[in-house]
Amino acid sequence: MSKRVIISGGGTGGHIYPAIAIANALQQQVPDLEVLFVGALGKMEMEKVPRAGYEIVGLPIVGIKRELSLDNLAFPFKLVNSLSKARQIIRDFRPDVAVGVGGFASGPLLMMASLAGIPTLIQEQNSYAGITNKLLAKRAKKICVAYPEMEAFFPKEKIALLGNPVRNDIVDVSSKRKAGIVHFGLSDSDKTLFIMGGSLGARSINESIDAGLGKLIEAGHQVLWQTGKAYIDTAKAAVEKLKTNKIKVFEFIYEMDLAYAVSDVVISRAGALSVSELCLAAKPAILVPYPLASEDHQTKNALTLVSQQAALLIRDSRAKEDLIPDVLALMSDIGKQEELKTNIRKLARPSAANDIALEVLKLI
């Protein structure tokens, strides 16, 4: 009988794509292994996971809003419902191990799995542990982390420092530049600025770029701009006014390997997945951490790189004033670009997905 693994969590690309990378690595190592994903209904994993070729079941779980909200009154009922559904999923699928990657859905699923005597593994992507993972840590058999000094949140004897799993196609992007130029319709001779605000977009980054598009074009640069759903129409209108073919706008880019391949400089939020991909792609980056991330973990992620001269940091509140001037300066400073590329490459962990998959298989 084939072995079975449940992987739960999601909410953002920062949780979903590491989960998919772990699933891919597991199936590479054990081809007949069965994987089932468990996510939160209405969240992006319900679309992204099937697109990657895996089955997913949704729980009605939601988060507690920080501000006073009537929605919070429904939380206890949705939690109880999710726990009940998680228990039924476990009974039906009978997993040998359960993996949690953070996000709403991992809480009920891993809790019910541990109560059923199924070994659990947590993968924490950030330098500051999320509340769900902190609560689940006591029952977990293994906790895989991406940053040192995580014993501040988890039992030291359970921790394995393995890095964040990312898709294999980002490990070597240098050979894909020509393919990327063709795919995005870019010029092979101009420098390329790649802007990504995470899977949900980033208002401060988008507004800053919007205001500075003219200066970027005047400097002779071309722009690859992932806006997110909320800003795509505004961005398209802004580009139309400029009447230029040097700015390519997308709501979401699935071909991230090609986007990294063509980029000379990247502007990004500082979510764990983005940071890990930048390390592997070895790209000069300006990080603009999302200030409302839980426990300000994106700023902590960014400062880890800044402390090793591996990236530049602009506070979200300063983006409108500083982002365009700093981008223009970095785009023209080849020496600084090389320094950042050299230092960020040292932080890459290309085998993270395989290493975490091995830890999962050990628990089986």
Q: Give phi and psi for 144, each to the nearest 5.
A: -95, 130
- The residue with tokens 């099937």 is 50
| More confident call, 278 vs 201 | 278
Indicate if 45 and 157 belong to the same structural domain.
yes
> pLDDT tens digit string along 40-71?
998 889 999 999 999 999 998 766 555 566 66
Closest by CA position to 145, among listed 102, 82, 191, 193: 102
> pLDDT tens digit string along 171-182?
789 899 999 999
Q: Known binder of ligand: residue 251?
A: no
Indicate if 91 and 192 belong to the same structural domain.
no
Indicate if 76 and 184 belong to the same structural domain.
no
Number of continuous H segments (helices) and E segments (strands) in the chain: 14, 13
Q: Known binder of ligand: residue 272?
A: yes
Q: Known binder of ligand: residue 277?
A: yes
What integer pLDDT is reported at residue 130 of this predicted model?
81
Indicate if 25 and 100 belong to the same structural domain.
yes
Q: Known binder of ligand: residue 274?
A: yes
Q: Known binder of ligand: residue 167?
A: yes
Indicate if 135 and 184 belong to the same structural domain.
no
| More confident call, 183 vs 66 | 183
Quick count: other Cβ atoms within 10 Å of Cβ 112?
A: 21
Range of the domain at 191: 169-345
Instruction: Tally the domains of the chain.
Output: 2
Mean confidence (pLDDT) of the chain = 92
Indicate if 90 and 59 belong to the same structural domain.
yes
CA 214 distance to own-chain centroid: 30
pTM attached to this predicted model: 0.84
Q: Known binder of ligand: residue 12?
A: yes
Characterize the bridge pairing of strands 285-287 and 4-8: unpaired
For the segment 224-250, the average pLDDT, to the nearest whole number, is: 95
For the segment 255-263, the average pLDDT, to the nearest whole number, is: 96
> pLDDT tens digit string along 82-101?
889 999 999 999 999 999 99
What integer pLDDT is reported at residue 65 of this predicted model?
56
pLDDT band at 198 (very low <50, low <70, confident <90, very high): low
Strand partners, 7: 37, 99
> pLDDT tens digit string along 319-355?
999 999 999 999 999 999 999 999 999 999 999 999 9
Q: For residue 320, what are the contacts with CB-CB under 8 A and spacing of at least 6? A: 204, 207, 208, 211
Per-residue pLDDT at 75 exceeds 70: no
Indicate if 189 and 331 belong to the same structural domain.
yes
Indicate if 251 and 138 belong to the same structural domain.
no
Strand partners, 226: 196, 250
CA 196 distance to own-chain centroid: 11
> Per DSSP, which regions of the chain are E strands?
4-8, 34-40, 55-59, 97-100, 120-124, 142-145, 159-161, 192-196, 222-226, 247-250, 265-268, 285-287, 312-313
CA angle 322, 269, 329 (to 5 degrees): 35
Indicate if 185 and 298 belong to the same structural domain.
yes
- Which strand (E) or helix (H) includes residue 21? helix 13-29
Indicate if 134 and 206 belong to the same structural domain.
no
Q: Known binder of ligand: residue 315?
A: no
Q: Known binder of ligand: residue 228?
A: no
Q: Known binder of ligand: residue 14?
A: yes
Indicate if 205 and 64 belong to the same structural domain.
no
For the segment 137-150, the average pLDDT, to the nearest whole number, is: 94
48, 49, 50, 54: CA torsion to nearest 10: 160
What integer pLDDT is reported at residue 72 of this predicted model?
61
Quick check: 93 and 116 in contact, CB under 8 A? Answer: no
Find the CATH number of the domain harbouring 309: 3.40.50.2000
Indicate if 118 and 134 belong to the same structural domain.
yes
Q: How far apart are CA 236 and CA 26, in angstroms?
A: 40
Q: Known binder of ligand: residue 47?
A: no
Q: Known binder of ligand: residue 189?
A: no
Q: Known binder of ligand: residue 118?
A: no
Q: How far apart are CA 200 and CA 53, in angstroms?
A: 22
151, 154, 158, 162: CA torsion to nearest 10: -70
Q: Known binder of ligand: residue 125?
A: no
Alpha-carbon distances of 128 from 14, 24, 114, 238, 304, rounded to whole Å = 14, 26, 24, 37, 11
Q: Known binder of ligand: residue 208?
A: no
